[in-house]
Amino acid sequence: MKICITASGESNESKLDPRFGRCSYFVIVDLDINERTVIPNEASMTGGGAGVSSGQLMAEQGVEAIITGNVGPNAMNVLKAAGIDIYRGENKSVTENVNFFKSGKLKKITETVPSHFGMGNRR
């Protein structure tokens, strides 16, 4: 199973970035083979469509679950259409969030934040 953690940096010790579409990095972890891939989020600085682009990228990467803080309505639609589950991560490291996920401690996100929420506002 591949999961993705939105992260503020490239390492396993980097903190969760609470913005899905505008996070700094996507850390994709394949739990079956314990392999990690880091992808810089090229959509993070775009004027619009960051959530949709990020959601499409996750679908292309074969991700089955996202761990993040907030998701906008357009990203939510793309992720749901791709069958990707979304979980609310903790303000902790990538490693800690992976462990929380594996132990079932993270809750699914079912509500979105307003469009363009991550363009300067943080929750």
What residues does each domain of the chain span?
A: 2-108
Q: Is the pLDDT of residue 115 over 60?
A: no
Predicted pLDDT of residue 112 = 85
Residues 42-99: pLDDT tens digits? 988 877 889 999 999 999 999 999 999 999 999 999 999 999 999 999 999 999 999 9
CATH superfamily of this structure's domain 2-108: Dinitrogenase iron-molybdenum cofactor biosynthesis domain (3.30.420.130)
What share of the chain in percent tops pLDDT 70?
Answer: 91
Three-state secondary-structure class, residue 7? strand
In 10 A of CB 98, how many CB atoms? Answer: 19
Three-state secondary-structure class, residue 40? strand
Q: Is 7 in contact with 26 (CB distance < 8 Å)?
A: yes
Rounded Cα distance between 66 and 23, Å, is 12
With 0.75 as the threshold, say if the pTM is over it: yes
Q: Please, how many CA atoms are within 13 Å of residue 52, restricted to the half-sphere of its CB?
A: 7
- Count Cβ neighbours within 10 Å for each residue of 57-94 and write b for 16 or more, e otherwise: bbeeeebebbbbbbbbebbbebbeeeebebbbbeeebb
